[in-house]
Structure 1
Amino acid sequence: MNTSISQTQVSNSLAVVNRVAPYGGNTAQDSLDFVIAMSNFGQEVSVFFVDDGVFQLLKQQNPSPIQRKHFTKGFAALHFYDIEHIYVCEKSLRERNLNQDDLTVQVELLAPKIFYAVLDQHRHVVTF
């Protein structure tokens, strides 16, 4: 797994960090919309999931009982927007008794130290 980013990528790179569960408010959906919009404007976007943000990637979600839109299906389309780097904090998954097989998309699972080192390589960071 190559977790280094070239200097060219750093100068134009944007990291979007997701820390919240998907349906407690609009924050998670706003993050996904922001990621797609930034990609459409030619930004090099990497997406990070940590803490309760890992719940956004779960396969088995049904928000209809709380009358919410199932926006998390949009994560499966990120590759159409040339978003190739999706990072998940391994510790956050483990603390929630989850593993990579529970997630709806392919991710790069990183130990916390590496997770934050990769995040630090980005020029701009937006947290949701």
Structure 2
Amino acid sequence: MATTARKSVLVVTRHAHQGSALGRSALDAALVSATFELPVTLLFQGQGVLQLLPEQDCTEAGIRNLRKVIESLPLYDITPIYVDAAAAARYALQAELLPPQAQLISLDRQRQLLADHDHILGF
């Protein structure tokens, strides 16, 4: 019987938590993929890094605090999570404010992530 390699999924989130439910949609896509035992990687780029702020007000978008969901990702084997280092610097998001499983990465490393995955979902 032939074995089939599991396809890897990269979920890229580029939108802030305020004014949009796209951040939550990205997290939902990552969680669903992980539930089906697909290898999932999560990358926060641009305004998406603002989802990592410890204190968020998501009531405008009608969603839960995304940081709490992000902190639960290791339960689904989604770790580490990657953060665009330039965007984090642009929004003055200091490393000590990031979730424990977050890693700041360069543009070159982001390009490598894009090349290394079978499927890319952008939000």
Question: Under TM normalisation by the shorter chain, which class is it?
Answer: 0.7 to 0.9
Work out the CA distance in 1 between the residues paired with 2:91 and 2:105.
15
Partner of 2:62: 68
Partner of 1:54: 49
Work out the CA distance in 2 between the residues paired with 1:35 and 1:118.
15
Contact 2:14 2:49 in 1 (8 A): yes
The alignment's TM-score, normalised by the length of structure 2, stands at: 0.86
Residue 36, structure 1, aligned to residue 31, structure 2: yes
Partner of 1:20: 15
Unpaired runs of 5+ residues, structure 2, are none
Q: Secondary structure at the match of 1:74?
A: helix
Work out the CA distance in 2 between the residues paired with 1:42 and 1:71.
25
Paired residues, number:
119
- Structure 1: which amino acid aligns with 2:64? H
Instruction: Give CA deviations for 1:59-90 in whole Å, capped at 9, x if unaligned.
Output: 121334x3733241111110011111311110
Taking a change above 3 Å as real, the CA distance of residues 104 and 85 of structure 1, as seen in their structure-2 partners, is closer
Q: Give identity over the alignment, percent.
A: 28
Deviation of residue 118 (structure 1)? 2.2
Instruction: Give CA deviations for 1:16-67 in whole Å, capped at 9, x if unaligned.
Output: 0000001221111111111111100111000000000000111121334x37
Contact 1:12 1:123 in 2 (8 A): yes
- Structure 1: which amino acid aligns with 2:90? E
Contact 1:45 1:85 in 2 (8 A): no
Deviation of residue 113 (structure 1)? 1.4
Contact 2:56 2:65 in 1 (8 A): no
How is 1:86-97 mapped onto 2 (pairs within 5 angstroms)?
Answer: 86-97=81-92
Contact 1:57 1:105 in 2 (8 A): no
RMSD: 1.9
Residue 80, structure 1, aligned to residue 75, structure 2: yes
Taking a change above 3 Å as real, the CA distance of residues 67 and 37 of structure 1, as seen in their structure-2 partners, is closer
The alignment's TM-score, normalised by the length of structure 1, stands at: 0.83
Contact 1:49 1:89 in 2 (8 A): yes
Partner of 1:107: 102
